[in-house]
Amino acid sequence: MRPHGGSRRAAWLGSLYSSVAVALLLLATSCGAGARPNIVLVVVDTLRADFLGAYGFAGPISEHLDRLAAESLLFENAFAPAPWTKPAVASMLTSLYPQVHGITNHDGFFWGESSDEEARLGVLSDRATTLAESLQAAGYATAAFISNPWLKAEYGFAQGFDHYDDSLSERFLEQVESVPADEVGDAAQLWLEGRDAEQPFFLYLHLMDVHSPYGVHSSRADFDALVGSRQVESRVVMEEAQTPHRTFNNVERRPEWATDDMRRTVSYWRTRYAAGVRGMDQALSGFLDHLRESGRLDDSYFVLTSDHGEELFEHGGWIHGQSLYFHQLHIPLFIRPPGGLLGGRRVAEIVDLMDLTPTLLSIAGTDPIPQAQGQDVSAFFDGEVPELRAASYATATQPSPGLHSVRTVDHKFIFDLDADTAQLFDVLDDPTERRNHGDSADWEKVVSQLTHQVTTHIGDSLVNGTLTSETTEISDEMLERLRSLGYVR
């Protein structure tokens, strides 16, 4: 071992961080004294973290997003507070747990046998203070381009946006396919070009390319490029009744080259999902190039995340919203600061999607939301480690309103308050949560501790009450589309 190597490396790192700090200061100065950074938030619906190259996917799947991730602060252990869109996005925008904002739809009207007659949708209460409202009040121009019909303005998600374009979701309702990322990006680009360049902006894009039916906007070349990748390989062959096109009520766009034998394998559907990720990455590249070439990327904090993940038969099922296992909750999250000058840093600590609002408000120099239950993790940008709760909590599955989970550094615990059942996983040894120790006498103490932790969390989260629960009637058109995707039975 070379003598004094550690001190030399420490001195080199110190010099590097000093240089970066100076560069950031110069960048801030060039933007003007007191200038606030722009914020671009891209949410890729249903995107699993492990299906991006930056998170370990072995194959040509996400070159453009990986480039951004390499210039970003990347959170390796980010989790969603719910496994489907409405409660997860409501938590992201309000920094409130699902049981507090109440957008969970467990009122007996939605997934029961009588859903045709009594179907309703929850509406985000105007008592909530959202990220967009806070930034708008601070002088930001705010715009959103939304391709998911769950997030239409009538359900309360437009609060605080000067411009909220949910017309992009109509194709999803009418044609059983989403608007591709390049069209969403084009609409956002038009808004950027027409705005006041002196006013800071908050821009939110919600993309549906990765959502089922898988691979609608991808090509055979996208599919072929990913065949054989470790994450998509599987020897499992399913009965016809178990294939995802049955789950999705025959809405999958079957390519001409897909044989029946292919469609009966798990590997085919996982590759279809991966091809959708690859297609999204390529379709989004034009918008990303525009941000770079216009200089807006280097004037902005760019955030890439997802609202939830997706099960691809790991626990014998498909899609999302049905359980609280790893694949439905582990999401990508990386934030590129202006200039990408602190890129390449990875954070192993546990963070939550609802930490995003407090963090972005801190970055913008804006007052925090008083009732926020998430945490400001912006200290990571300064090379510090903030005090964290060291756990992520989730709930609001579609079939089981009493189901709650906690993910700690060592364990994943899933507890059903209604059925009084528990599942326990040792995530250090079993990161994909396949071996349940919940009924083992050897793990009884851990089960007891985590049961107490979950129930205490629920009580603590409700100590200041909840938002007023509101509902609106769901249209026949929306009901049919949600049925086609497996949400309504």
What does the pLDDT average to over 295-324?
Answer: 94
What is each CA distance from 35 to 76, 141, 157, 214, 480, in whole angstroms?
Answer: 30, 14, 28, 42, 47
Domain ranges of the chain: 35-389+479-484
For residues 143 and 189, the answer to whether their CB atoms sit within 8 Å is: no
Q: What is the pTM of this model?
A: 0.90
Q: Please, what's the largest Cα pairwise distance for the chain?
A: 77
Residue 342's pLDDT band (cuts 50, 70, 90): confident
Q: Measuring CA to CA, which residue among 126, 204, 222, 113 is closest to residue 166?
A: 204
What are the tens digits of pLDDT across the range 403-429?
A: 999 999 999 999 999 888 999 999 999
pLDDT at 405: 98
CATH number 3.60.110.10 is the correct assignment for the domain at 35-389+479-484: no
Which pair of tokens denotes residue 16? 């590097």
* Strand pairing report for 73-79 and 330-331: antiparallel
What are the tens digits of pLDDT across the range 250-260?
A: 455 678 888 88
The answer, yes or no, to whether residue 53 has pLDDT greater than 70, is yes
pLDDT at 28: 45
Range in 67-76, 195-204, 238-247, 389-398 with the lowest mean pLDDT: 238-247
What radius of gyration do the chain's Cα atoms show?
A: 22
What does the pLDDT average to over 69-98?
Answer: 97
What are the tens digits of pLDDT across the range 108-160?
A: 444 444 444 556 678 999 999 999 999 999 999 999 999 998 899 999 999 99
Q: Rounded mean pLDDT of the chain?
A: 86
SS (H, E, C) the chain: CCCCHHHHHHHHHHHHHHHHHHHHHHHHHHCCCCCCCEEEEEEECCCCHHHCHHHCCCCCCCHHHHHHHCCCEEEEEEECCCCCHHHHHHHHHHCCCHHHHCCCCCCCCCCCCCHHHHCEEEECCCCCCCHHHHHHHCCCEEEEEECCHHHCHHHCCCCCCCEEECHHHHHHHHCCCCCCHHHHHHHHHHHHHHCCCCCCEEEEEEECCCCCCCCCCCCHHHHHHHCCCCCCCCCCECCHHHCHHHHCCCCCCCCCCCCHHHHCEHHHHHHHHHHHHHHHHHHHHHHHHHHHHHCCHHHEEEEEECCCCCEECCCCCEECCCCCCHHHHEECEEEECHHHCCCCEEEEEEEEHHHHHHHHHHHCCCCCCCCCCCCCCHHHHHCCCCCCCCCEEECCCCCCCCEEEEECCCEEEEEECCCCEEEEEECCCCCCCCCCCCCCHHHHHHHHHHHHHHHHHHHHHCCCCCCCCEEEECCHHHHHHHHHCCCCC
Range in 10-24, 247-261, 269-283 with the lowest mean pLDDT: 10-24
What is each CA distance from 88 to 228, 231, 396, in whole angstroms?
Answer: 32, 25, 9
pLDDT at 20: 45
pLDDT at 9: 37
More confident residue, 14 or 385: 385
